[in-house]
Structure 1
Amino acid sequence: MSALIYKQRFFHPNRPKTAVSNYVHIGYIATRPGAVRHENLSHGLFGKLQPGELQAFDSWQEVARIARQISQQGKNMYRSVISFRKETALELGLTDFAAWQQYIEQHISTLAAHNQMKTENLCWAAVFHNEKDHPHLHVVFWDRKQQIMKNFTHPEIPNRIRKQLIKDTFAYKIKQFCAQRDQLKSGITEVTENIVEEFGAYLKRLDPKAFRAFQHRFEQEDEDSLLRFPKHHLMEPTSVKRLSEKLFELRRHMPKTGRLAYKLLPPETENLLDAMVQDLLQENRYLAQLVGDYVQAKLNLAMLYDSGPEHLDKHRAKYQAEAEKRIANRILSTIRSIIKLEQEASLDIRQTNRQYALAEQLLLALLNLMEGLFMHTQLDYDDKSKAMGGELSKQAKKEWLLRHKDQGLER
């Protein structure tokens, strides 16, 4: 166990989806719940894309576009996480956004040096996630002058970074630890790797239960699952319970036979489903935010082809309805699963805990759905706005509109 957690990985640039994955990763870490955001901005991304002053980026997209571009050029973009237990962060004075910014600015050179990057060629961006029990920092970084593509990082490299961060972060406390062990009296003045490990073991013994939870959270989970995990904090038990009750009430109004599709539902059942969608958007702010982000991204995309202000409200209403249709269809998909489970004699769907679990799974699925739709619509906008440069031809506009008309919807 360690006094801090450091994780590092990258996706190989030759992997077909690496460029898009890196773009989406930056969007996720910059906007997820728990990310401490800049005042009056929708994200919390900061860093340096060239030597100089620390920069609060105007948008996360400007960094994501660069990350995508360098991936397409065969350069490696590293994803890393630095975390402390809450109590440790408080003791170190890492109590606010500014303190975490200062911390990574002081220590980013350690990440660069152990990955054989020159400081003047280092590009990096970070986001502070102020989670309740384990505040942490997501850092992405790359070498803008990289010439040779890397396909492997030896596990010892992040391990060495972790040890160096401990040495630099806890220098005073390690000296205190050595003094308690009478090691200073025996002439030991250098903080060796063995002392770092002994110091970590000492901290672990102070609160074994808390450190086990900390270890599992950041060492047993892979880096991408750390991004999915915080969604559970978005769901209040009372809200999930109400969703469960509404879900099974809606199930009782489903037709006994025939295909379960929105356009085939009785009017009463259709009204119940529509009301359930509106209730979800009222009760879950993050879901509503994602729907709003998706609608805006679709609107930006449409404005590349039709920028007339008289059409904006019409487009906005259309994309809002589209998002709500997708949510309704996902609810129907869950109800199909419920009906299937009811038909399996070995499963008692009437159990309250099982109903709660299904409702929770539904809400997580909706958050994943809208996150993915927003990110990929934003990516589509970036591609088209870059490709256009100017205006598309009327024929190109017509073809695009026909191709995307009511795409992927079923009512």
Structure 2
Amino acid sequence: MSALIYKQRFFHPNHPKTAVSNYTHIGYIATRPGAVRHENNSHGLFGKLRPGPLQAFESWQEVARIARQISREGKNMFRSVISFQTETALELGLTNFTDWQQYMEQHIATIAAQNQIKIENVCWAAAFHNEKNHPHLHVVFWDRSQTIMKNFTHPEIPNRIRKQLIKDTFTYKIKQFCALRDEAKSDISQVTDRIVDEFEAYLKRLNPKAFRAFQHRFEHEDEDSLLRFPKHHLIQPSSVKQLANRLFELRLHLPPTGRLAYQLLPIETKSYLDELVQELLRDNPYLAQLVEDYVQAKLELATLYTSDPERLGKQRDNYQKEAEKRIANRILSTLRTIIKLEKESTVAIRQADREQALAEQLLLELLTVMESLSIRTRMDVDDKISAMGGELSKQAKKEWLLRHIDQGMER
């Protein structure tokens, strides 16, 4: 097995999508399933934005806002991953959230030094993902004093970081390895890169199958794809089968002709579709949480324009219905695909297999779409607060409420 995986990259600050991408990246690592969260909080982001004690940030958005701003200023925000196999993490005493926090705090200096960032100028935030077989840390970091934009990082830099992390993390085990080989009867004075390479080769021989699986996980995927894919572990096979059956039943309730749109459905069919949406929210807690996050973000935006409890209550209901309407429209899109395949497909695939595949694809799409919508709405809230300075005129509030009071209900 490999001792340790380290990957590092950045998106060029000049790219028009970099600032938004960095914002959403932080939202993903802080809130995705698998991320260990702070007690009584909705995220697990920790780190340091200034010298001093380790911070458990009140919200992931405070870090995301800074990351977006430094990108706009032409500063580089680096994204990195540190990962061990589960057995290795346990041997190192990394058994809980606090252990991983301390590990990151101890080793951020190595990452900073190899990237030529002074330790007093490095800003960083991390999230621990306790995923099966490969617990790992997602780390973002930048140089608060950076004045010259970087457009390239030599591949040797993350390689040097990886080797130094191995030296610092596995010193005792490396010395044991050398003693077993009789290479050093006494204590070795320096753990060299050559010894690190030999140590990893030794671990690889111990369990070549585990080594290949661990390496493959990170060599063929970057840290962004680890966040987006796979989401299959968030979906139960029983839920996929049940959804496939429900899609088939809903297919039978659809009108034989006419445009397939939510607002044009017969009342009975619309009720059946609404029930299916509620079932999906009950069966998939992550999807339900994403809807709630979206509704809360929209509600925070509404509170900038009105403090009337009755209006806010109505707005909350509207936002919930809007989110559910989006899910319903995604379901209808899948049904259009089913109908099209029924008419055009010449491939000999069992109807049940086809419907299960489409049901699984639908669930994955819903998670991806609502995940993106939730974070981007949160970013919109930040923009509005910044642009408004916290206050609008009464007339502006009235105009906004008139435009948004029923928004999204017939789309």
TM-score range, shorter chain: over 0.9
Distance in 2 of aligned mates of 1:127 and 1:176 = 32
Match in the other structure for 1:90: 90
Distance in 2 of aligned mates of 1:72 and 1:256 = 52
Distance in 2 of aligned mates of 1:247 and 1:175 = 60
Distance in 1 of aligned mates of 2:390 and 2:178 = 66
Equivalent residues in 2 for 1:154-303 (5 A)? Answer: 154-185=154-185, 189-303=189-303
Distance in 1 of aligned mates of 2:369 and 2:295 = 14
Give a deviation string over 1:181-219, Cα, whole Å, max 9, x none.
Answer: 221149964322122122112112222222222112112
Match in the other structure for 1:9: 9
In 2, are the aligned partners of 1:243 and 1:359 still within 8 Å (CA)?
A: yes
In 2, are the aligned partners of 1:2 and 1:197 still within 8 Å (CA)?
A: no
Match in the other structure for 1:114: 114
Deviation at 1:266, TM superposition (A): 2.3
Structure 1 186/306 Cα, relative in aligned 2: closer, same or farther at 3 Å? closer
Give a deviation string over 1:29-71, Cα, whole Å, max 9, x none.
Answer: 1011111111111100111111110111111111111111111
Secondary structure at the aligned position of 1:14 is classed as: coil
**Runs of 5+ in structure 2 lacking a partner?**
none
CA RMSD of aligned residues (A): 1.8
Secondary structure at the aligned position of 1:123 is classed as: strand
Structure 1 211/410 Cα, relative in aligned 2: closer, same or farther at 3 Å? farther
Distance in 2 of aligned mates of 1:198 and 1:402 = 70
Give a deviation string over 1:17-36, Cα, whole Å, max 9, x none.
Answer: 11111111111110111111
Give a deviation string over 1:100-122, Cα, whole Å, max 9, x none.
Answer: 01101110001000000000001
Residue 80, structure 1, aligned to residue 80, structure 2: yes
Secondary structure at the aligned position of 1:255 is classed as: coil
Distance in 2 of aligned mates of 1:349 and 1:338 = 13
Match in the other structure for 2:360: 360
Secondary structure at the aligned position of 1:191 is classed as: coil
Give a deviation string over 1:216-275, Cα, whole Å, max 9, x none.
Answer: 211211211100125222111111111111112212222222211112222222121111
Moved more, 130-139 or 184-193: 184-193
Equivalent residues in 2 for 1:139-150 (5 A)? Answer: 139-150=139-150
In 2, are the aligned partners of 1:127 and 1:137 still within 8 Å (CA)?
A: yes
**Runs of 5+ in structure 1 lacking a partner?**
none
Distance in 2 of aligned mates of 1:265 and 1:380 = 32
Secondary structure at the aligned position of 2:344 is classed as: coil
After TM superposition, the score normalised by the length of structure 1 is 0.96
Distance in 2 of aligned mates of 1:122 and 1:42 = 26
Distance in 1 of aligned mates of 2:368 and 2:404 = 22
In 2, are the aligned partners of 1:281 and 1:287 still within 8 Å (CA)?
A: yes
Structure 1 410/202 Cα, relative in aligned 2: closer, same or farther at 3 Å? farther
In 1, are the aligned partners of 2:12 and 2:151 still within 8 Å (CA)?
A: yes
In 1, are the aligned partners of 2:36 and 2:130 still within 8 Å (CA)?
A: yes
Structure 1 386/116 Cα, relative in aligned 2: closer, same or farther at 3 Å? same
Match in the other structure for 1:350: 350
Residue 153, structure 1, aligned to residue 153, structure 2: yes
Distance in 2 of aligned mates of 1:346 and 1:87 = 49
In 2, are the aligned partners of 1:33 and 1:231 still within 8 Å (CA)?
A: no
In 2, are the aligned partners of 1:34 and 1:130 still within 8 Å (CA)?
A: yes
User: Amino acid of the residue matched to residue 294 of structure 1?
Assistant: Y
Structure 1 122/397 Cα, relative in aligned 2: closer, same or farther at 3 Å? same
Secondary structure at the aligned position of 1:119 is classed as: coil
User: Amino acid of the residue matched to residue 131 of structure 1?
Assistant: E
In 1, are the aligned partners of 2:125 and 2:141 still within 8 Å (CA)?
A: yes
User: Amino acid of the residue matched to residue 31 of structure 1?
Assistant: T
Distance in 2 of aligned mates of 1:301 and 1:44 = 24
Moved more, 357-366 or 245-254: 245-254
Distance in 1 of aligned mates of 2:35 and 2:409 = 32
Match in the other structure for 1:385: 385
Match in the other structure for 1:304: 304
Deviation at 1:297, TM superposition (A): 0.4
In 1, are the aligned partners of 2:175 and 2:188 still within 8 Å (CA)?
A: no
Distance in 2 of aligned mates of 1:298 and 1:374 = 9
Equivalent residues in 2 for 1:324-339 (5 A)? Answer: 324-339=324-339
Give a deviation string over 1:72-125, Cα, whole Å, max 9, x none.
Answer: 111100111100011111111111001001101110001000000000001001
Deviation at 1:344, TM superposition (A): 2.7
Structure 1 321/161 Cα, relative in aligned 2: closer, same or farther at 3 Å? same
In 2, are the aligned partners of 1:29 and 1:227 still within 8 Å (CA)?
A: yes
Structure 1 37/159 Cα, relative in aligned 2: closer, same or farther at 3 Å? same
In 2, are the aligned partners of 1:174 and 1:199 still within 8 Å (CA)?
A: yes
User: Amino acid of the residue matched to residue 352 of structure 1?
Assistant: A
In 2, are the aligned partners of 1:22 and 1:77 still within 8 Å (CA)?
A: yes
% identical aligned pairs? 77
In 2, are the aligned partners of 1:48 and 1:55 still within 8 Å (CA)?
A: yes
User: Amino acid of the residue matched to residue 148 of structure 1?
Assistant: I
Match in the other structure for 2:53: 53
Deviation at 1:319, TM superposition (A): 0.4
